[in-house]
Amino acid sequence: MWGLLLALAAFAPAVGLGLGAPGASVLGLAPPATTEAPGSTLAPRSSPAQPPAGRANGTSEQHIRIRVIKKKKVIMKKRKKLTRPSPRVTARPLVTTSPAGTLNLTEKQEPGCPPLGLESLRVSDYQLEASTSQSFGLGPHRGRLNIQSGLEDGDLYDGAWCAEEQDSEPWLQVDARHPVRFSGVVTQGRNSVWRYDWVTSYKVQFSNDSRTWWGSKNHSSGMDAVFPANSDPETPVLNLLPEPQVARFIRLLPQTWLEGGAPCLRAEILACPVSDPNDLFPEASVLGSSDPLDFRHHDYKAMRKLMKQVNEQCPNITRIYSIGKSHKGLKLYVMEMSDHPGQHELGEPEVRYVAGMHGNEALGRELLLLLMQFLCREFLRGDPRVTRLLTEMRIHLLPSMNPDGYETAYRRGSELVGWAEGRWNHQGIDLNHNFADLNTQLWEAEDDGLVPHTVPNHHLPLPTYYTLPNATVAPETRAVIQWMKRIPFVLSANLHGGMNDFSYLHTNCFEVTVELSCDKFPHENELPQEWENNKDALLTYLEQVRMGIAGVVRDKDTELGIADAVIAVDGINHDVTTAWDGDYWRLLTPGDYMVTASAEGYHRVTRSCRVTFEEGPVPCNFLLTKTPKERLRELLATGAKIPPDLRRRLERLRGRKN
């Protein structure tokens, strides 16, 4: 379960940590060939596996910039990162060896078993072993699909398992802890800024006791099958076994790898559970949920259909609306859930969940689709907790902020999408870094002593560069910003992305970023357990909007609400403002606070507000009196007679001035 991150006392904007513009030294990489393990049955080295360079093998080039720090100086150079195009693939044809050692292609197959859990960490570190490792940071526990390395090679968090260079028979072993039906393997090379390392072919062996092993055989020849692996570091390659094997242990034995490199790989194992009639092994944990919800991945059409079904099932508490369109024209749909959908109720806070900022991070999207189903179902059943949520607040759920990116990732599938494919929108913009930087603007003003008298500590305006016609701002980003401005959100969580600072400094809304899973695109069979892991936290976080003070700022004479009045709390350098009807919410932890309400044309009022440990916001209302100048302006504008009390106050003010 993700933590609630409720450090609400200080309410300082979260610090956005980002890596500077990377730069790189030129790495002289000679055209690599394939290194063959001793005893390999592959074709001889006259047919080496080539790296993804040039156009002859259908590859393309991209320029990346990498930061190199040397003697306290940042040297910016260019290097060509060689990448291979990523065609739409659901499974790679199986390649095996004939008795003569040549490669044979079998028919295309689809994966039938779910992942064992290397990427999602359901397979723990102690279940992974290897023949050798170059270092601890390149140990077997790092041989997980899509694992990422740090900026420096040789640290504790490198980007693959790598055997020692002198290891003549390298292998990576996985202990499933009980018998399973192994059906396939997905591999990648080493994730590294500095090196190219990947395995180009491997064999697979199985065991029930880790001592006696047998191999996966080629149907036609009866020889050990040799599977084609990778031709670049990042593209996941799936191989299905000629015949699924029931065993407890599985080994991957690299046969050839990039010449000049090392046998390095990241992997996921596909395996189905099997029954154990003799009860010799401990019962495998079952992933599941008792909630009858739609546990599967939804593309754009399926998502829209599901949201429509929820709306039809609960028409009195739901409303679907769009906040804009993606670059390719897909609508950014929001599900609103409240006892009075479609309208802001006085004193009722607005909260939101946003998911899918990175299109390939699918778990947040599915959790929000599950949440809207759950809230509808439990409301109809009369669940008191859900009923209170929907009657005391207005909930907005945006499951897919980047639908274009998600469609790309969805077509690849959960195990083949890789770490980056589908992350950006269709324009290639990372929405995570596309919101305006308001932090620097505020920090510089604070250093110059300009906050809050000259520069406000809240509702910072957009920088000029950000509003220019040629500014690189994605349509998805613009849509969310306008959405923030239209609705007086109080609390938000982004599952996952860095717009939390922007939300806090540009609007009233306190927002946190939630990192959900090590697996960006988990398999469908893991969704029930992920829902159970996060369900209570999703509800509890919404309930935090009740913490603090809330009230209405009104005109003392007319008793009408005052919009855009400023609510300041002594000791907290961040103010909030009232909504159109004068209502406001200020998240605070228990304690005594001096709170000041002010508005243009009114005398400010300060009062003490005590926040207790009791559930629910503490009422803290204000009545503001117009200044004499403002009252006179309004009376003169309407042609009304000036009352005696106002006349006397104006005369006293003139006397002081003279």
Q: What is the pLDDT of residue 85?
A: 35
Q: What is the pLDDT of residue 237?
A: 96
Least confident of 44-58, 340-354, 380-394: 44-58
Q: What is the pLDDT of residue 13?
A: 33
Residue 3 pairs with which residues in a beta bridge? none
Question: What is the enclosing helix (H) or strand (E) of 483?
Answer: helix 475-486
- How many whole angstroms separate alpha carbon 7 and alpha carbon 654? 50
Between these two residues, 452 and 323, which has the higher pLDDT value? Answer: 323
The answer to whether the CB of 34 falls within 8 A of the CB of 257 is: yes
- How many whole angstroms separate alpha carbon 355 and alpha carbon 402? 9
Interval 505-521 mean pLDDT: 87
CB neighbours of 78 closer than 8 A, spacing ≥ 6?
A: 23, 24, 26, 63, 65
Question: How much of the chain, in percent, has pLDDT values that exceed 90?
Answer: 61
Residue 51 has pLDDT above 50, yes or no: no
Neighbours of 156 (CB within 10 A): 11
- How many whole angstroms separate alpha carbon 294 and alpha carbon 131? 43
Neighbours of 259 (CB within 10 A): 18
Report the relative pairing of strands 199-207 and 214-215 from DSSP bridges: antiparallel
Amino acid at 631: R
Smallest CA-to-CA distance from 192 within 230, 231, 148 is with 148
Torsion of CA 544, 583, 498, 323, to 10 degrees: 110
Residue 552 tokens read as: 């209405």
pLDDT in tens, 372-420: 999 999 999 999 999 999 999 999 999 999 999 999 999 998 888 888 8
pLDDT in tens, 95-111: 333 333 323 333 334 45
Residue 539 has pLDDT above 80, yes or no: yes
Q: What is the pLDDT of residue 284?
A: 59
- How many whole angstroms separate alpha carbon 91 and alpha carbon 297? 18
Coil/strand/helix, residue 463: coil
- Supply the Cα-derived Rg of the chain in whole angstroms: 30
Q: What is the pLDDT of residue 7?
A: 37
CB neighbours of 519 closer than 8 A, spacing ≥ 6?
A: 119, 120, 121, 146, 363, 526
Question: Using DSSP, how many helices (H) and how many strands (E) does the chain show?
Answer: 11, 29
Interval 192-197 mean pLDDT: 90
Q: What is the pLDDT of residue 288?
A: 84
- The pLDDT-based confidence of 52 (bands split at 50, 70, 90) is very low
CB neighbours of 115 closer than 8 A, spacing ≥ 6?
A: 145, 186, 268, 269, 270, 271, 414, 415, 523
Least confident of 89-103, 186-200, 290-304: 89-103
Maximum mean pLDDT: which of 24-28, 32-36, 73-77? 32-36
Residue 84 has pLDDT above 70, yes or no: no
Q: What is the pLDDT of residue 376?
A: 98
- How many whole angstroms separate alpha carbon 586 and alpha carbon 589? 10
The answer to whether the CB of 190 falls within 8 A of the CB of 233 is: yes
Amino acid at 441: Q
The answer to whether the CB of 623 falls within 8 A of the CB of 554 is: yes
Interval 80-104 mean pLDDT: 33
pLDDT mean across residues, the chain = 82
157: Cα within 13 Å, side-chain hemisphere:
7
Residue 335 has pLDDT above 90, yes or no: yes
Q: What is the pLDDT of residue 426?
A: 94
Residue 26 has pLDDT above 50, yes or no: no
Q: What is the DSSP letter of 602?
A: B
- The pLDDT-based confidence of 249 (bands split at 50, 70, 90) is very high
Residue 365 has pLDDT above 50, yes or no: yes
- How many whole angstroms separate alpha carbon 42 and alpha carbon 545? 63
CB neighbours of 286 closer than 8 A, spacing ≥ 6?
A: none
Between these two residues, 35 and 31, which has the higher pLDDT value? Answer: 35
Question: How much of the chain, in percent, has pLDDT values that exceed 70?
Answer: 79
Burial of 396 (C-beta count, 10 Å sphere; 0-12/13-18/19+): buried
Q: What is the pLDDT of residue 286?
A: 62
Interval 634-648 mean pLDDT: 74
Q: What is the pLDDT of residue 90?
A: 29
Residue 61 tokens read as: 């080039």
Q: What is the pLDDT of residue 111?
A: 59
Integer CA distances (angstroms), 128 to 19, 202, 208, 212, in order: 32, 17, 15, 18
Q: What is the pLDDT of residue 499?
A: 61
Q: What is the pLDDT of residue 635?
A: 72
- How many whole angstroms separate alpha carbon 278 and alpha carbon 281? 8
Integer CA distances (angstroms), 364 to 19, 121, 413, 507, 540, in order: 24, 18, 16, 23, 16
Residue 17 has pLDDT above 50, yes or no: no
Q: Which sequence positions are flagged as catalytic? A: 515
Q: What is the pLDDT of residue 281?
A: 65
Q: What is the pLDDT of residue 594?
A: 98
Q: What are the φ/ψ torsions at residue 409 (nearest 5 degrees)?
A: -65, -40
pLDDT in tens, 462-497: 988 898 989 999 999 999 999 999 999 999 999 874
Between these two residues, 505 and 346, which has the higher pLDDT value? Answer: 346
Interval 518-542 mean pLDDT: 93
- How many whole angstroms separate alpha carbon 136 and alpha carbon 162? 10
